[in-house]
Structure 1
Amino acid sequence: MKDQNIQIFLLEDDLSFGAVLKSYLELNDYEVTWVDDGKRAVERFREGSFQLCLLDVMLPNVDGFTVGKEIRQLDKQVPFIFLTAKAMKQDVLKGYEVGADDYVTKPFDTEVLLCKIKAILNRGRATEAPEAEWYDIGNYRFHLQKRSITKGEQEQKLSPKEAELLQLLVEYKNNLLPRETALKKIWGDDGYFTARSMDVYLTKLRKYFAEDPSIEIKNIHSSGFILQVRD
């Protein structure tokens, strides 16, 4: 079934590969805006409305990590996948720290990439499902559909994965959320890189609630996490 109006932002400097990947995505009913230079990427991103970004890392002028950081400042929610020939652990971890939803090493199977894209987009739709409109967490209110945390007039936008992880923590509030449960439900596996990625997102969530001493996200060694909210 066609994914109507799904706009993908593609940043890839290899003209041959970029053209092939753009055509492949369009054959699968996605609309693609392709940019081949990191220097022009953020400006082009501002001009559109995108549901997902594919960002090559090794680019002339401005690298993909820098572009990803700037995109994340503009849009807290849009998911993105890094595409790179660099498979060093520190590079993979840097990608997740920037806020990526996945990190794909070249060369890769385009069908696998397509499955990853669909999984990320479906997770976003699931997060927006009207299970519960609001969750009260201490002095904060977590709006699931809007992916936001509010406290008075202050609002913090969340990425799709931040919202999914916070929803799980709230569902297990004051009880242990097993690490394996969170990894498999949100990331689909419990490997090393996904575990490190989840730790990055937990650190971000802790910062969002730092002003309320009644809220604590505890790390239970080798077991999982507890969102503790004291009355």
Structure 2
Amino acid sequence: MSRKIRLLIVEDEPAIRTGLVDLFVFHGYQVECAEDGREGLRLALSGRYDLLLLDVMLPGVNGFDICAQVREQDREQPIIMLTAKSADEDVIQGLSLGADDYVAKPFSVAQLVLRVQAVLRRARVSGEVENRIRLGDTVELDCRNLSGRCGDQEHAFTRREMELLQYLHANAERPVSRDELLTRVWGYARNLDLETRTVDIHIAKLRRKIEPDATNPRYLVTVRGAGYRLLVE
């Protein structure tokens, strides 16, 4: 018998926490939860979970700090943030710290389950992709070790950032749309209606790491009306 997927939910609102636990237990997950940030951080750093579901606003230690500290220890740990619907800055900050995705409150439980499944699916996939990527004379990426160099600067990458670069590199002959990236890199179903800035925020993060000038991209360019393209010189 295969082991159950282990999920950690860190949420301080009792009704939401109980509802999430019941939801994912119903879907066959092994679920643990924490009601405050300090306990959530302690559990998250244990490395026992297949995915972390973190609320942003938590007593003790907030979700951003938990995400940042987990990323310092493990750049591949799947993380989804729960954010207030009106707080767009929460979305940007969470993804900038290395979260794989975010879900805005109030959320559809069906969409939340689909997003969790998609992040877990991508975490399990290991396709035939390049392990080293070179862009011009200044950028060299080590995909296996999630590291890279742009000129004299060394950078660490998250698993999702590197998967995005690998997919764009494999399709460098053409622009790739946001919808295609959400399907092929994030693992979302094609018919899932999503309102998300996940792709754009990840592109902005990557430009700050691989571009000599992030405001004037040389390698990771926007093709108006078509998506993004990685130019391999």
CA offset at residue 174 of structure 1?
A: 5.3
The TM-score normalised by the length of structure 2 is 0.75
Write the distance in 2 (CA, Å) between the matches of 1:219 and 1:102. 22
1:140 maps to a residue whose letter is: E
What value does the CA root-mean-square deviation take over the aligned residues? 3.3
Write the distance in 2 (CA, Å) between the matches of 1:79 and 1:156. 20
**Is the Cα–Cα contact under 8 Å of residues 41 and 61 in structure 2 kept in the other structure?**
no
Correspondence 1:132 to 2:147:
no
**Is the Cα–Cα contact under 8 Å of residues 95 and 201 in structure 2 kept in the other structure?**
yes
The count of residues paired between Structure 1 and Structure 2 equals 219
Write the distance in 1 (CA, Å) between the matches of 2:3 and 2:110. 19
CA offset at residue 42 of structure 1?
A: 2.0
More off after superposition, 58-67 vs 116-125 = 58-67
CA offset at residue 45 of structure 1?
A: 1.6
Structure 1 counterpart of 2:99: 100
Structure 1 counterpart of 2:85: 87
Structure 1 counterpart of 2:215: none
Shift of the 156–9 alpha-carbon distance from structure 1 to 2, 3 Å rule, reads farther
Deviations along 1:68-89, one digit per CA (max 9) or x if unpaired, are: 22222322222222224x2115
Structure 2 counterpart of 1:40: 39
Where do 4+ consecutive residues of structure 1 move more than 6 Å?
A: 189-192
**Is the Cα–Cα contact under 8 Å of residues 9 and 34 in structure 1 kept in the other structure?**
yes
Deviations along 1:118-166, one digit per CA (max 9) or x if unpaired, are: 121112222x23x1352432452443xx462456xx9855434313311
User: Helix, strand or coil: the match of 1:229?
Assistant: coil
Counterparts of 1:1-231 in structure 2, within 5 Å, are 4-84=3-83, 86-90=84-88, 91-126=90-125, 128-129=126-127, 131-132=128-129, 134-138=131-135, 140-143=140-143, 146=144, 148-150=146-148, 158-173=157-172, 175-187=174-186, 188=188, 193-194=195-196, 196-210=197-211, 216-230=219-233
**Is the Cα–Cα contact under 8 Å of residues 216 and 228 in structure 1 kept in the other structure?**
yes
Write the distance in 2 (CA, Å) between the matches of 1:3 and 1:147. 28
2:21 maps to a residue whose letter is: K
CA offset at residue 50 of structure 1?
A: 2.1
**Is the Cα–Cα contact under 8 Å of residues 146 and 159 in structure 2 kept in the other structure?**
no
**Is the Cα–Cα contact under 8 Å of residues 4 and 30 in structure 1 kept in the other structure?**
no
Shift of the 35–193 alpha-carbon distance from structure 1 to 2, 3 Å rule, reads same
Write the distance in 1 (CA, Å) between the matches of 2:123 and 2:37. 26
Q: Answer 1 or 2: which has greater helix percent.
A: 1
- Aligned residues with identical type, % of pairs: 30
Write the distance in 1 (CA, Å) between the matches of 2:130 and 2:171. 17
In the alignment, structure 2 segments of 5+ residues that lack a partner are: 213-217
In the alignment, structure 1 segments of 5+ residues that lack a partner are: none
Write the distance in 1 (CA, Å) between the matches of 2:116 and 2:6. 12
Write the distance in 2 (CA, Å) between the matches of 1:147 and 1:192. 31
